[in-house]
A and B are shown apart, each in its own frame.
Chain A
């Protein structure tokens, strides 16, 4: 025998109805939390672009850093199936190396800026589409990207002048955002090691660890005199790997030149 408590049933219906009403009201009052609109472009176009480019730039810089600055480097050595670029190299015995890449950070910025331009264009297009879907009209010109590797951060400037119009118009000249990163420090230490190798040969890395306690430097000496350096930040896990061949001693007393 089933006992039905009618009063209880009514109370449940009322509670469910109130809950539904509350949800509808919340969506009406706070449109930002509507499903599928997690990235509300109208509220924050800069945030939209930042989210869109964040992972791209991190991947690009990590990929380049793994190979000494280039994705498919020339003047490189194959080590553990990865091409590692020589930042300083000599083909002679008994001589310090000739610097192959004196401006590591600057070169990285240039390459990232060029690469990011295409990605930024894609992100801007996606953002424009999202705006247009939301009933805005957008006029824009060409997109340029500028990446700067600064202490503790990577700053990105997307120069993409645009005007967004619905009831009122808003004009944007450029979008600027930063990602926390320690690559600046890694590139600076790498430059210092390259300078040491080019001047004296075989660098002493222990000293760097006193000045930069969060940095770890692995130095692998190969049979042909090549040294592979991997400088990594133990906290952020960011790393930069490069190769150097300097002040090489020939086997035995044999001298090629």
Chain B
């Protein structure tokens, strides 16, 4: 008897130990490093690397994987949502919250600006050979960019090795000293090649592209940019004396793409300064627009939505496997960006009309807010586009673009599709005592084909449920719904 008890106890112990072990292995933990080499992930215990720290809680709550800010003193950059573990490069520092070093301000770099940290500003200024001009009072990027828009620009004349040299720059830079010399004399809206300044700089046939500007510029013999390239004015003394704005330069309303006579490129019209061929010192306005795309000619930067899978959109019915795509025209090339799979994102499109009357389309992948449609019982709440993407159909609120389901694995599709299941009580009355006929007296609509069709539609509207086609327009096989009447099943 004792032996049997012992065996029973051992058996129960083994079963419990196995069950406990298995539960432990499946338990989600915050893992310092996973088997696949990823850091600080919430994964099942079995996926945690041998010897890696772990805790049965979310990584946000642990000491070893707490996200913080990784700061690079070399570049002055700050990276958010970073665990200390991976912020371990030479000289890098990790902080729980953003340190003062990450505070942003306006970095003025000649006639351009960047909204960056002070160290980053020093790095950029050093790279460009400029003095550091950092204004932490400016708190947003737009104000920062605008602050340099209306800076005075002109010729800064200074003495260098017993000669009168010149740099085309801003008044601020000129006053703070250029090229390691003292303060220069600033001549607003004058070019360095202006004969009256008597500098060593003169006109030349060379052109240049300037960082942050789209036009092709003449370059003087000192390497300073002059006015916008215009072949008809290459020997015009006045054109080499005073600054001429882009609006008053050649063909201001055209993008001048490919023109060999005018360098007045316009980025918004789809051109920018580029070398004619790789390594060439001849610069032209390169065409950035897309002459042919799936939606006809498009401008550089334009984006638009494409749904070219079978099925329809915004009608509470979507084909299985279909998804939204955003197309973009960039540098003369049509690029395709897929929105999230399973129609968890949908593509939305709008357009703006520029001051010159040109329509410019813009598209974006946006989260599909289908989740609470079925819970809405009121039509107004259902179609409230501020809150959700739903459609009022047959007195039910359904997603405009039903979600896709991972129907080939797990029970998930059944759970979702079951929401479309419906019971309808049909009452019959039998007339006559013998051989009488049954007559429907209530719930009769439920035995009409129309009712069944509506339920099938509802089923489709909830996701990849019921009878449907796939994105290639191939109809699915197998049973799609079960209709039971009077205990008799009718599977379709």
What residues make up the interface of A, taking CB atoms closer than 8 Å to B?
A: 73-76, 86, 88-92, 96-103, 105-107, 110, 150-151, 188, 191, 194-195, 198-199, 202, 204, 206, 209-210, 213-214, 216-225, 234-235, 248-254, 257
Contact = CB atoms under 8 A, between A and B. Distances in A.
B38 A75 contact: yes
B89 A103 contact: yes
Contact of B412 (A107, A199, A254): A254
A195 B79 contact: yes
23 contacts: A91-B42, A98-B82, A98-B83, A99-B83, A100-B39, A101-B86, A103-B70, A103-B87, A110-B89, A199-B80, A199-B81, A202-B365, A219-B337, A221-B339, A224-B341, A234-B331, A235-B275, A249-B344, A249-B367, A251-B342, A251-B412, A252-B406, A257-B28
A169 B87 CA distance: 46
Contacts of A102: 70, 72, 79, 82, 86-87, 89, 92
B342 A210 contact: no
B340 A98 contact: no
Interface in B46-97: 59, 65, 67, 70, 72, 74-75, 77-83, 86-87, 89-92
A106 B344 CA distance: 36
Contact of A253 (B34, B74, B416): B416
Interface of B: 28, 34, 36-43, 59, 65, 67, 70, 72, 74-75, 77-83, 86-87, 89-92, 127, 214, 267, 272, 274-275, 278, 288, 301, 303, 328, 330-331, 333, 335, 337-342, 344-345, 364-365, 367, 371, 403-406, 410, 412-413, 415-416, 463
Given A74-B38, A235-B275, 8 more contacts: A91-B41, A102-B86, A103-B89, A209-B301, A249-B345, A251-B344, A252-B413, A253-B403
A74 B36 contact: yes
A250 B413 CA distance: 13
Nearest to A236: B278
A252 B463 contact: yes
B83 A252 contact: no
A242 to B, nearest CB: 14
Given A191-B79, A216-B331, A251 B341 contact: yes
B70 A251 contact: no
Contact of B70 (A76, A91, A99, A257): A99
A198 B81 contact: yes
Given A110-B90, A206-B301, A213 B403 contact: no
Contacts of B288: 213
Contacts of A86: 38
B337 A252 contact: no
B416 A198 contact: no
A191 B87 CA distance: 13
B359 to A, nearest CB: 17
Nearest to B286: A213
Contacts of A191: 77, 79
A224 B37 CA distance: 18
Nearest to B128: A151
A184 to B, nearest CB: 9
A106 B74 contact: yes
Looking at A74, A96, A198, the one whose CB has the most chain B CB atoms below 10 A away is A74
Nearest to A106: B89
Contacts of A225: 340-341
A251 B404 contact: yes
B41 A90 contact: yes
Nearest to B65: A98
Contacts of A188: 75, 77
Nearest to A218: B335
B406 A251 contact: yes
Nearest to B416: A252
B463 A89 contact: no
A96 B41 CA distance: 12
A195 B78 CA distance: 8
Nearest to B370: A253
A194 B78 CA distance: 11
Nearest to A225: B340
A221 B341 contact: yes
Contacts of A209: 301, 330-331
B440 to A, nearest CB: 37
Contacts of B341: 221-225, 251
B448 to A, nearest CB: 30
B373 to A, nearest CB: 11
Looking at A91, A100, A216, A219, the one whose CB has the most chain B CB atoms below 10 A away is A91
Given A191-B79, A251-B344, A98 B87 contact: no
Given A218-B335, A252-B406, A206 B416 contact: no
Contacts of A73: 37
Contacts of A107: 89
A210 B278 CA distance: 21
